[in-house]
Amino acid sequence: MFWDEAIETIKPAELRILQEKRLRETITRCMKVGFYQEMFRREGINPSDIRTLDDLKKIPFTRKSDLREGYPFGFMAVPLQEVVRIHTTSGTTGKPTVVGYTKGDIENWSGLIARNLTMIGLTNQDVFQNMVNMGMFTGGLGFHYGSEKAGITTLPAGTGNTKRQIEMIHDFGVTAIHCTPSYGLHLAEAATEMKMDLSSLRIGIFGAEPWSEKTRNELQKKLGVEAFDSYGMSELYGPGVAFECPEHKGLHIWHDSYLVEIIDPVSGKTLGPGERGELVVTPLVKEAMPLLRYRTGDITMIMEDACPCGRGPKLARFTGRSDDMLVIRGINVFPSQIEHVLLAIPEVGNHYMVYVDRINHMDEMTIEVEVSRDNFHGELADLKKVQNKVIKSLRDVLELRTTVHLVEPGTLPRFEGKAKRVVDRRGAD
């Protein structure tokens, strides 16, 4: 069991002492990285100037573009001989981000995952099926090592072969699963079509893409699980940075391992608790690749209320990314807002695609959404009222005119990994 009461419920004064000690250690490690040596020289900062949490604001932000410019090993603070594992991001918008791990990093990271799994009630009596990529993506191996560390029977199922995934859940009496929320919904849909019983399931862990409370309700209803939100990022180890406890009222940030700030994504101004903005994280225990004030691009806020579970600060549900944000005719739109609207309309299904085009110098957004199987009787032309309902609901929330096309059930793409529901075609103009 990985219930570390002394750390997880540490008092604020003691936590500050621990965080400041680890911050100074992180500064020392960062001074072995050329990027930070140059940053401190350019800004006129001496490492000894950073002693307290308040001093952190003297340091400029680190951005993903900085990591890409350091490709492949420019941000390593240890010799490559001490790096026991390398992960990378997908690199879909440029060079991939390379992340290295020492033995100590693997131990710390797997411990954080084990802590998460223990917090939500998993024990050595459970069977855990890990249905995410086991390759360079951090989600697979991160959860695999953490689950084993917690003593849980672990199935490294990976992605794909949905029929086999469902058979394993049924045959092995799987009690907990980990996948993206979009794949969880696909899994439920496929199990219904196969007439397979998934009643052994009790817990579902979902992450890697923003999802709403409506999606939680759908997952819980269709899979029969208690659904937990997981947050992480490859640059910060991977999954395990923050996680929901059974209260389901925010994600606990593991404050002994990460310092968090919320900033205005445009101005960089620091925001207070209850103010939504971009999450900035300084990891406190990373050895191979320490970072300072890393801009994650993820939009959330620090919650003001204390959690009944006794653990520390919480982050609100993530509503999207600052670089995921679509600006349509001057209006900011997050894909999670669209999802929230669609899932509140029972006549349409869980699957949709968003297309953004520039037509006659104007931005236009088109949304294709499947009609639910219960409401499709062979003719889309009979569903004009449903189409108008979707259009009105989207306009009320987004304050934006959209084009909506209803499509037949089962016709839109299904995603076994992270869902790619937004296609922005304006860059081709």
When pLDDT is cut at 50, 70 and 90, the band that residue 334 belongs to is: confident
SS3 242: strand
- Phi-psi map region of 278: left, alpha, beta (phi>0 left; psi -120 to 50 alpha): beta
* pLDDT reported for residue 237: 97
Strands 153-155 and 238-244: unpaired
332-338-340 Cα angle (round to 5): 120
Computed over every residue of the chain, the mean pLDDT equals 93
**Cβ proximity of 241 and 234 under 8 Å:** no
Q: Which residues of 1-20 are buried (b: 16+ CB within 10 A; e: fewer)?
A: ebeeeebbebeeeebeeebb
* pLDDT reported for residue 234: 93
Name the least confident of 3-17, 229-243, 314-328, 348-362.
314-328
H runs (alpha helix) in 173-325 = 181-194, 213-223
**Cβ proximity of 106 and 99 under 8 Å:** no
Residue percentage of the chain with pLDDT more than 90: 76
H runs (alpha helix) in 198-252 = 213-223
Token pair, residue 71, equals 């490709």
Comparing 212 with 91, which gets the higher pLDDT?
212
* pLDDT reported for residue 428: 47
* pLDDT reported for residue 2: 72
Token pair, residue 68, equals 């890409």
Superfamily assignment of 326-428 in CATH? ANL, C-terminal domain (3.30.300.30)
Comparing 123 with 210, which gets the higher pLDDT?
123
The tens digit of pLDDT for each residue in 31-40 reads 999 999 999 9
When pLDDT is cut at 50, 70 and 90, the band that residue 429 belongs to is: very low
Name the least confident of 91-95, 179-183, 202-206.
91-95
* pLDDT reported for residue 1: 53
For the residues 44-71, what does the mean pLDDT come to? 96
CATH code assigned to 1-319: 3.40.50.12780
* pLDDT reported for residue 419: 85
When pLDDT is cut at 50, 70 and 90, the band that residue 306 belongs to is: very high
Residue percentage of the chain with pLDDT more than 70: 98
The tens digit of pLDDT for each residue in 246-287 reads 999 999 999 999 999 999 999 999 999 999 999 999 999 999
For the residues 310-337, what does the mean pLDDT come to? 84
For the residues 126-147, what does the mean pLDDT come to? 94
- The number of helix segments (H) and strand segments (E) in the chain equals 11, 21
The gap between the terminal CA atoms of the chain, to the nearest Å, is 55
Identify whether 47 is preceded by a cis peptide bond (ω within 30 of 0): no
For the residues 191-209, what does the mean pLDDT come to? 95
**Cβ proximity of 222 and 177 under 8 Å:** no
CA distances in angstroms from 171 to 129, 166, 174, 199, listed in the order given: 12, 9, 8, 11
When pLDDT is cut at 50, 70 and 90, the band that residue 324 belongs to is: confident
- Domains 1-319 and 326-428 belong to one CATH topology: no
Domain-wise residue ranges, the chain: 1-319, 326-428
331 has a pLDDT exceeding 90: no
Q: What CA–CA distance (Å, rounded) separates 2 from 201?
A: 22
The tens digit of pLDDT for each residue in 66-121 reads 998 999 999 999 999 999 999 998 654 457 889 999 999 999 999 999 999 999 99
364 has a pLDDT exceeding 70: yes
241 has a pLDDT exceeding 50: yes
Using only the alpha carbons of the chain, give its radius of gyration.
22
SS3 343: helix
* pLDDT reported for residue 94: 54
Closest CA to 89 of 210, 262, 236: 236
